[in-house]
Structure formats: C-alpha cells, structure tokens
Structure 1
C-alpha cells in the first residue's frame, strides 16, 4: 500500500482554508472538466469541494478518500447528491476493474512515496483510452514547513511529472504550469513570512483580486512557471 504522510489535523485545516478560495477552485475545475468523460473517479477527494462541482456536469461521479475520519465526513456531505458514489480507496488498488472514464487527482500525488505506482494504479482504474488527470505543487525551491507539515514528499516540474507518467505507462496529452502569481505569493507567505494558507484575509484577497488576473493572462500565454503543474495523459488503447 502506498503511504500518504503528514499531519491529518494540519491537512484538514489547510483544506478548510482553501475551500474558501472559490475562484481558484472553479479555475481548476474547468481545467479537468473536458477530460473527465461520463464516469470519472477522483482519488483523494478530501472534503469533496471539487467532486461536487464536477458532478454538476456529469451523470455519475465517484469520490474517494483514504483517511477514515475524513471519509465519514465526505459520506455525510455527499449523501444529498444522488449521482456521487463515495468509496474508501488507498493506492495501489488490488484488481482494479478498469471501468472509469477518467481518474482525476488534485494535490495528492506529492504525498505518496511510490508516485509511479500510484499513477500506474490510476491507469488501471480507467478504461483503455481513458484519462488520468493530475495537479501537483510545483518547484522544490518552494518546499516549505507548510509542505512538510501537510505531508508533501516532493514538488514537481513539468519534466519530473512527465517522467513519472511515462514510467507508469501513460501517454501524455498535455502538461503545463498553472497559477504563476500564486507561486510567488505562496513562496512569500510560507517561506518568508512562515504563514499557512488557512482561511482568512490573505486567502480572500488572493482569490478575489489576484487569481482572476492570473487566470485571464494564462488563457492567452502559458507561463514558464506556476504554483501547480497540470497534466492530462491517456491510458493506452
């Protein structure tokens, strides 16, 4: 079984804080939506914020969580959504059915020691030709005490993430950085001022003022750096 490291309490605090970054979440929802197909599975759904927004556009969606306590909260929250199924899942999965149109996982892979094995397991969860969609934090120079406390083993570049996908037997369709200004803000907050991205004025100002400008600019020009790396790959036919 792949180990997911980190302090669950701190992870929950950060998740709750980032849940207030509505514009950021909607941007990242939009990135994955064209690739999800009709029956995707999310690995590491956390509090379910992305799952709820994706499921609005889909006939069926499966949300998963490895942590038992967070799984209970996830099931309670998803009870009112008839098209969302909730499962406990920790990668790698034994004897995956390969029934899903896509496997999507945001900010999870950086917690897993055997990240290639995790990607390989996601590949086996989807149908031949199905997609694996990943977002991970970018650039090791931005590794902070917040990363360590929340269980981040590594941060990525386009090159290192692509190498992991290829080693897992996936065919890359697109890979790019996202949220360039967010990287600068994250590094300043966490490495210089030693702050965590919890709910509060800092997150609200970033989400309402900085994020829309960044999103608009990156629709025109892909930046050479960003807070995150976004990758879409295909399972071989």
Structure 2
C-alpha cells in the first residue's frame, strides 16, 4: 500500500462543479477508449462522469490510502461496471500493463518530476493510445491556493508540450474556461483567498462555465484558466 498523503482539501468542493466536469466529459469522450488508466483518481468525481464513455476496463490509480478507500466505496456505490481502484502510483504498475487511454486530470501539477512521470506513463501506453492531460493554466495565476493544495506549478502550452517524450504526438492542445480565467485573475489581484468557498465554486460552475462553453470555441480556445492536451503514441 502507498504511504503517499494528499495535502489538498479541495476535492469535495470541486466535486460540486457539475457543469465543469460535464464540459470536460464532452470534450474528452471521443478520445477515451479501450483499457483506461486514470492516474490520481482522488475521490472518483471525474470517474463517475467519464465512465459514460466507451471503454473496456477502467483502472483508477490513487496513491493516498484514505482517498483510495473512499474511491473504492464510490465505485461500488455508483455501480460502475468494469472499474477498479488501485492504491499506488505509475511505479506500482507491472511492466506488461498497457492501456489504450491514460488520464491525468488536474494531477500532473502535483507531481514534482512531471516529465519523468509522463515518460513512465508513455511506456504503459499502447501504440495509437491516447494520453490526456488537463491542468491549471498560467504560472502568473499561481496563488497561495495552489501552494496549499500541493501544486508545484501551473502550465502554459509550451511548458506542457515540454514534458512530452518524443513518442507522443500532439493532436489537441487548447486553453479552456476563458471566463474562469478572469475570475481567477480577480481572486489573485483583489480577493487573494487561499481557498474558494463552496458558494464561489457554485457561482463559477453555474454561471461562468456555461458561458465559457459557448465562448471558448468562438475564440479558438486561445485563453483560459485550464489547459487541455491530448497526445497520441506513435506506432
């Protein structure tokens, strides 16, 4: 069993962001296929939505023992078929375990040696398999909240591309949530909160995310508070 302890306290808060998670589901579902590995699955809030996609088997990898136990319970309680929780990290996998899809959803920023992590993940990705990364965008938006929940960094397109090994080709690289970026900037410059409140999360999710879903494609996904990368492993 892993001895990793997750320092963040925000997972339950952001589990309430139904519109945001549905936005991600719609964007990602076409790239999720076959045997899926979700790294850092947390309490399973992303799993519950994304498992509506087409897949054969879903492995939720979570290093924190307490979160892992909650994750197991969530999978059982929601009756998610062919979905299993595993307590560990990418290093816990057997060499022969290969996947068609590997997900890092707001996880890579928590990992100190991010490029090393992605190289290891690539070794467990089948040829033509998809690597999907969603991460907080723009280092200039880094706040005490990021530090409090264990973020080492935020990313832009260039820094996220830089962690990829040569055998991964980029098929999508976009910023998401343009309205949320403005809200995050306001928090950094004016409110200066170390953590958002549940009310703020609900306001962002209920009012800002739907607007971003409409505006993001219009502005060509050119700016936002999150960054999405989909890479495909070369043959």
Report the TM-score, using the length of structure 1 for normalisation. 0.89
Q: Is the contact between residue 177 and residue 229 of structure 1 (CA under 8 Å) also seen in structure 2? A: yes
Classify 1:192/1:92 alpha carbon distance in 2 versus 1 (closer, same or farther; 3 Å). farther
What is aligned with 1:209?
Answer: 207
User: SS of 1:103's equivalent?
Assistant: strand
Deviations 1:17-44 (A, max 9, x none): 1111100011112222111112211001
User: SS of 2:10's equivalent?
Assistant: helix
- Deviation beyond 6 Å, 4+ runs, structure 1: none
Deviation at 1:219, TM superposition (A): 2.6
Q: CA RMSD in A?
A: 2.0
Report the count of equivalent residues. 230
User: SS of 2:152's equivalent?
Assistant: coil
User: SS of 1:134's equivalent?
Assistant: strand
Classify 1:133/1:7 alpha carbon distance in 2 versus 1 (closer, same or farther; 3 Å). closer
Q: Is the contact between residue 41 and residue 100 of structure 1 (CA under 8 Å) also seen in structure 2? A: yes
Matches within 5 A, 1:60-139: 60-79=57-76, 80-93=79-92, 95-139=94-138
What is aligned with 2:187?
Answer: 189
Classify 1:132/1:92 alpha carbon distance in 2 versus 1 (closer, same or farther; 3 Å). same
Classify 1:28/1:196 alpha carbon distance in 2 versus 1 (closer, same or farther; 3 Å). farther
Report the TM-score, using the length of structure 2 for normalisation. 0.90
Q: Is the contact between residue 62 and residue 86 of structure 2 (CA under 8 Å) also seen in structure 1? A: yes
In the aligned structure 1, how far is the partner of 2:172 from the partner of 2:141?
A: 23
User: SS of 2:163's equivalent?
Assistant: helix
Q: 1:52 aligns with which of 43, 48, 52?
A: 48
Deviation at 1:188, TM superposition (A): 1.8
In the aligned structure 2, how far is the partner of 1:121 from the partner of 1:154?
A: 20
